[in-house]
Structure 1
């Protein structure tokens, strides 16, 4: 089967930053599905791993990355029960396994959902990683109660990004929160409004803009961009007994003692935790993706696809990585096979 990978962490412009090669088609065992892939999405995690996985070395065999795929089940392992050959599925995969930048991929069915029937392959590929991340941030980390917490305020940092785009919809339509998203450019502000943000504020003047809309402090903050850049501001903006969630990691230690007097909670969200550690509740991701599929089919949610590149090629994969590295993409970028 055709695959695209790398042996060294090189600038995306370099000739060998990605290259095409042949790989033996794998066979599923246990809980695995063998999926024939029809579309993939590219996320910031893709370029970050490409830049760091082989920084000071040359790998013996090419590394295949990629997380977010849509495809058709071609074969199933002996422990599977959720899907059969011919089913269309979507998923975000497992960081510890070979990725979806290939014609076929093995994936544990417990982290796979049924593809939404009303979406094209490209529209569906835009959803899994970001939906899981935003859903887990709200309901597994903060533990939002849609009835008890209805109307409370959430500040979403980077509202027009991939996670922010679906996060706005989940926070508004499922959690029932008052959603404040950050965006600075007119097109990114319009994008956030399109998905249901109650307010859109410029992150360059965050405190002043929150004051202006009558929400100088918020109940929850979801950091989908850079926790180090916003940490002291977030500490100031969060209400007493509020909750901050970050997905971005921290290059420097965070001073958690700044949260003490407000009794504020802080959580990391890492979408790959369940698959990486085979947690007892790993099947929750299957359930979340199926719930999201239902909400897409009934019109509650809309796809966050913004750019489609046609053809699974080195050229398109490089282009998608360049777009992500720019930090200016809106919504999701998908490659259709």
Structure 2
């Protein structure tokens, strides 16, 4: 089968930043599904791992990354029970396994959902990783209760990005929250409004912008862009007994003491935790993806796809990474095979 990977962590402008190569089609065992991939999407985690996984070294075998895919089940392992050959599926993968930048992939069925029936292949490929991340942030970490928490305020930092785009929808449509998103360009501001944000504020003057809209403090903050850069500001604008969730990293230790007087709770969210550690509730991602699929099919949620590149080639993968590295993408970029 054809796969695309890298042997060195090179700038995306370099010819060998991605290389096409042939390798064996893997065989499924136990809970594995062998999926023939139809489309993939690219997320910030892709380029971050490409930049670091083979730094100052040259790998003998190309590393295949990629953590969003839609495809058709071609074969199943001997312990599978959720899917059969011919089923259309979508999933966000496992950091510890070979990725989706290939024609075929093995994936544990416990982190796989059924592809939305009413969405195209490209529209579906845009949703797994960001959908899981946003859903887990809201309903697994903070445990938003749509009845008890109705009307409470949530601030999404980087509302127009992949995670922010679906988080806005989930918070508004399912969580019954008052949604505030950050954006600064006219196109990203409009995108956040289209996704359902009640307010869009400029992240460059966050405190002042929140005061202008009458929400100087908020119940929940979800950082999808720069934890370290916003840390002190978040401590100021979070309400007493509020909750902060972050999916980004910090290059230095965070001063948690600044949250103490308000009894603020801080959570990390990493969508890969369940698959990396084979947690007891690993199957929960299968359930969440099926729920998201239903919400997409009935029109409650809409796909955040904005760009589709046609053809599974190294050049298209490079282009998708270039777009992610620019920091200016809106919604999701998909490569359709």
User: Following the alignment from structure 2 to structure 1, what is the Cα–Cα distance between the partners of residues 312 and 253?
Assistant: 40
Query: What do the CA deviations read for 1:191-217 (whole angstroms, capped 9, x no partner)?
Result: 000010010001011111110110000
How do residues 61-100 of structure 1 correspond to structure 2 at under 5 angstroms? 61-100=61-100
State the aligned residue count: 337
User: Following the alignment from structure 1 to structure 2, what is the Cα–Cα distance between the partners of residues 19 and 93?
Assistant: 21
Q: Which residue of 2 aligns with 1:308?
A: 308
Query: What do the CA deviations read for 1:112-150 (whole angstroms, capped 9, x no partner)?
Result: 000000101000000000000000001111111111111
The CA deviation at 1:152 is 0.4
The CA deviation at 1:156 is 0.2
How do residues 254-293 of structure 1 correspond to structure 2 at under 5 angstroms? 254-293=254-293
User: Following the alignment from structure 2 to structure 1, what is the Cα–Cα distance between the partners of residues 114 and 212?
Assistant: 43
Q: Which residue of 2 aligns with 1:323?
A: 323
Secondary structure of the 2:233 match is: helix
Q: Which residue of 2 aligns with 1:170?
A: 170
Query: What do the CA deviations read for 1:26-80 (whole angstroms, capped 9, x no partner)?
Result: 0100000000000000000000000000101111111000000000000000000
1:299 aligns with 2:295: no
Calculate the TM-score normalised by the size of structure 2.
1.00
The CA deviation at 1:253 is 1.1
The CA deviation at 1:278 is 0.1
The CA deviation at 1:86 is 0.3
User: Following the alignment from structure 2 to structure 1, what is the Cα–Cα distance between the partners of residues 252 and 144?
Assistant: 29
Q: Which residue of 1 aligns with 2:115?
A: 115
User: Following the alignment from structure 1 to structure 2, what is the Cα–Cα distance between the partners of residues 229 and 117?
Assistant: 40
Query: What do the CA deviations read for 1:189-247 (whole angstroms, capped 9, x no partner)?
Result: 00000010010001011111110110000000000001011000000000000000000
The CA deviation at 1:251 is 1.1
User: Following the alignment from structure 2 to structure 1, what is the Cα–Cα distance between the partners of residues 127 and 82?
Assistant: 20
User: Following the alignment from structure 2 to structure 1, what is the Cα–Cα distance between the partners of residues 324 and 11?
Assistant: 13
- Superposition CA RMSD, Å: 0.5
Which contiguous aligned blocks of 4+ residues in structure 1 show a shift greater than 3 angstroms?
Answer: none
Secondary structure of the 1:172 match is: helix
Q: Which residue of 2 aligns with 1:192?
A: 192
User: Following the alignment from structure 2 to structure 1, what is the Cα–Cα distance between the partners of residues 81 and 49?
Assistant: 32
